[in-house]
């Protein structure tokens, strides 16, 4: 029986490794911090597996071992005479545990120190401020020249190889910022400022996720992360620092009018228009993002309609209320938002 | 041990009974007077939504978020103490203190500064805001009031506030109720 199950073990291991190439993978080595942590995790995994194997071997041996018998066939309470080697073995075992624990502590300490030493000066890094809300991320890029600043939501663009110093705040409850491919977690605590250094090494598309339970839609609080070459990042920055494109036809004009004079603009802002609400995601270049509502829906015309028509459907409990738009209003607002590339 | 006297047992029993009796001291007071309080008269709402919103902790806390998000706190202060705008945590209502009156005030605006929010917020948000505004003076039922503010605040929790009877110029209280 045991023999038959044994071949399944490698299969299991392979199965657990499948996610390594994913956009949200704790085994990811796409950022400097992430790689160090992944190495440390590997050391811990090997060490603990080794010790677990020895424990399992001892338990198995104990279960299989027969007690010694005297000449008359009665069990010998004194044992089978293997006590002496066993005692030596146990002493060696205790020493190994002590050394092993010390080694793991040392590895953890050294990784921690080397990560801290490798941190570049925050003053020279790209400055990003992220404010967490139930349940979305407000993202601002700060530059020395404020006209270059960018405000966006639920997405993060990073130039590869450039350290990014992320300042983290929360508006309501405790959240946790986690892009597992790039770095470890960092909590966002109301009334406090925490920070994190991201040093992406590889271009690609990753997914961040709130890692501290923060209410009903905690699972739908994701962050699209794009690591791109410097030139591509600079293009993205320049495009996103610019005001929104003005409406071009009658339909988008009607959507613009509704958006800027009605419920939408009470909470949402679109740069370059009178819409200047500050409590909801900035929609200046909404249609250029990969998803709607913090990773809840992929960006597409159908999902834009769905979200505006009934925001409480796909993400119940979120702060966007049901507006009750008429069909022509919905059509116009959706067309306008879709034009905000 | 087994020779514990029945006297001792009786004493322990007595102590237990005394403890139980002490626990009963803080019993709720039941107002059995048949004369209704003035506030219950003026609160007789015509709109069925009023009770629905006011009796819900969820709606009150939603109203609390909107209260700061939509900058009501800019004029009326975070805990409703007032400033540029009239205080909302006292017992005076210039334009009526019923849910319907407050919703009207929010949606249509009032003279001397209160802007109209109709079309700027949804009707449900106005009702939720009204429920929160009434909670500032502890008007809703005690068990739906929040035990603490969402923000850091030195104001007393609304659940500890004394319920202020409503005085409204638009809703004259019954003369017989004045004696109460």
- Please state, in angstroms and rounded to a whole number, the distance separating the CA atoms of residues B116 and B132: 18
Q: Are strands A164-170 and A126-133 parallel, antiparallel or unpaired?
A: parallel
Confidence of residue B132 (pLDDT cuts 50, 70, 90): very high
**pLDDT mean over B133-143:** 87
A322 touching chain B per CB within 8 A: yes
Q: Are residues A291 and A204 in the same domain?
A: no
The pLDDT tens digits for A73-109 are 666 665 555 667 878 888 999 999 999 999 999 999 9
Residue after which a domain boundary falls, among A241, A260, A285: A241
Question: For residue A214, what pLDDT is reported?
Answer: 94
- Please state, in angstroms and rounded to a whole number, the distance separating the CA atoms of residues A141 and A130: 9
Q: Are A268 and A340 in contact (CB under 8 A)?
A: no
Within 10 Å of residue A193's Cβ, how many Cβ atoms?
A: 11
Residue after which a domain boundary falls, among A241, A274, A299: A241
Burial of B93 (0-12, 13-18, 19+ CB in 10 A): buried
The pLDDT tens digits for B79-115 are 888 889 999 988 888 888 889 999 999 999 998 889 9
More confident of the two residues A299 and B168: A299
Q: Which chain B residue lies closest to A319 (C-alpha atoms)? A: B62
Q: Are residues A108 and A136 in the same domain?
A: no
A263 touching chain B per CB within 8 A: yes
Q: Are residues A296 and A308 in the same domain?
A: yes
Whole-number Cα distances in Å, A274 to A246, A264, A286? 12, 11, 16
Q: Is the pLDDT of residue A255 over 60?
A: yes
Q: Are residues A224 and A146 in the same domain?
A: yes
Confidence of residue A313 (pLDDT cuts 50, 70, 90): confident
Question: For residue B34, what pLDDT is reported?
Answer: 47
Asked if ipTM goes beyond 0.85, one says no
Chain centroid offset of residue A4 CA: 39
- Please state, in angstroms and rounded to a whole number, the distance separating the CA atoms of residues A264 and A311: 13
- Enclosing domain of residue A194: 122-241
Whole-number Cα distances in Å, A27 to A9, A179, A318? 20, 11, 31
- Domains annotated on chain B, with CATH: 46-143 (1.10.760.10)
Q: Is the pLDDT of residue B68 over 80?
A: yes
Question: For residue A280, what pLDDT is reported?
Answer: 95
A105 touching chain B per CB within 8 A: no
Q: Is residue A27 part of a domain?
A: yes
- Please state, in angstroms and rounded to a whole number, the distance separating the CA atoms of residues A15 and A152: 37
Q: Is residue A9 part of a domain?
A: no
Tokens of B122: 């949804």
Q: Which chain A residue lies closest to B123 (C-alpha atoms)? A: A323
Q: Is the pLDDT of residue A3 over 70?
A: no
Q: Are residues A136 and A201 in the same domain?
A: yes
User: How confident is the prediction for chain A on average, in pLDDT?
Assistant: 88
Question: For residue B47, what pLDDT is reported?
Answer: 77
Q: Specify the CATH number for the domain of residue A34.
A: 1.10.287
The pLDDT tens digits for B3-30 are 557 788 899 999 999 888 877 766 655 5
- Least confident residue range of A11-20, A105-114, A146-155, B65-74: A11-20
Q: Is residue A14 part of a domain?
A: no
**Residues of B in Cβ contact (< 8 Å) with A316:** none
Confidence of residue A18 (pLDDT cuts 50, 70, 90): very low
Confidence of residue B38 (pLDDT cuts 50, 70, 90): very low
Q: Is residue A3 part of a domain?
A: no
Residue after which a domain boundary falls, among A190, A206, A241: A241
**Residues of B in Cβ contact (< 8 Å) with A263:** 119-122
Question: For residue B170, what pLDDT is reported?
Answer: 46
Short-list B31, B32, B41, B33, CA closest to B174: B41
Q: Specify the CATH number for the domain of residue A258.
A: 2.60.40.420
């Amino acid at each position: 029986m045991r023999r038959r199950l044994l071949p399944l073990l490698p299969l299991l291991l392979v199965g657990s490794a499948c996610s390594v190439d994913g956009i949200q993978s704790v085994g990811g080595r796409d950022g400097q911090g992430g790689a160090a942590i992944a190495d440390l995790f590997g050391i811990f995994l090997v060490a603990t597996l080794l010790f677990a194997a020895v424990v399992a071997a001892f338990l198995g041996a104990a279960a299989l071992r027969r007690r010694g018998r005297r000449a008359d066939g009665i069990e010998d309470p004194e044992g089978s005479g293997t006590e002496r080697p066993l005692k030596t073995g146990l002493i060696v075992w205790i020493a190994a545990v002590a050394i092993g624990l010390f080694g793991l502590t040392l590895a953890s300490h050294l990784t921690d120190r080397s990560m801290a030493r490798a941190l570049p000066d925050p003053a020279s890094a790209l400055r990003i401020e992220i404010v967490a809300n139930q349940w979305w991320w407000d993202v601002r890029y700060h530059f020395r020249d404020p006209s270059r600043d960018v405000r966006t939501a639920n997405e993060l663009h990073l130039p590869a190889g450039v350290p990014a110093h992320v300042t983290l705040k929360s508006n309501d409850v405790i959240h946790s910022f986690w892009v597992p491919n790039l770095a470890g977690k960092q909590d966002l605590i109301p009334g406090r400022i925490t920070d994190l250094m991201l040093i992406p090494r590889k271009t690609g598309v990753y997914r961040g996720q709130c890692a501290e339970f923060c209410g009903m839609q905690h699972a739908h609080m994701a962050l699209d992360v794009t690591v791109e070459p410097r030139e591509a990042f600079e293009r993205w920055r320049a495009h996103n620092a610019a005001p929104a494109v003005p409406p071009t036809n009658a339909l988008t004009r009607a959507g613009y009018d509704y958006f800027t004079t009605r419920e939408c603009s009470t909470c949402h802002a679109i740069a370059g228009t009178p819409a200047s609400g500050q409590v909801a995601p900035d929609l200046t270049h909404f249609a250029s993002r990969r998803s709607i509502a913090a990773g809840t829906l992929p960006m597409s015309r159908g999902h834009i309609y769905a979200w505006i028509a009934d925001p409480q459907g796909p993400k119940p409990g979120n702060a966007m209320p049901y507006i009750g738009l008429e069909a022509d209003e919905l059509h116009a607002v959706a067309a306008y938002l879709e034009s905000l590339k | 041990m087994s020779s514990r006297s029945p006297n001792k047992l009786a004493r322990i029993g007595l102590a237990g009974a005394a403890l139980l009796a002490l626990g009963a001291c803080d019993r709720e007071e039941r107002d059995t007077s048949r004369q209704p309080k003035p506030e219950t008269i003026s609160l007789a709402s015509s709109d069925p939504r009023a009770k629905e919103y006011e009796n819900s902790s969820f709606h009150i806390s939603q109203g609390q978020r909107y209260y700061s998000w939509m900058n009501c706190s800019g004029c009326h202060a975070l805990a409703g103490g007032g400033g540029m705008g009239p205080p909302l945590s006292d017992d005076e209502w210039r334009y009526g203190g019923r849910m319907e009156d407050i919703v009207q005030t929010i949606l249509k605006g009032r003279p001397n500064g209160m802007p109209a929010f109709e079309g700027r917020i949804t009707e449900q948000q106005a009702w939720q805001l009204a429920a929160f505004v009434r909670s500032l003076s502890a008007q809703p039922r005690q068990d739906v009031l929040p035990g603490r503010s969402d923000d850091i605040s030195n104001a007393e929790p609304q659940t500890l506030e004394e319920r202020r009877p409503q005085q409204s110029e638009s809703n004259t209280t019954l003369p017989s109720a004045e004696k109460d």
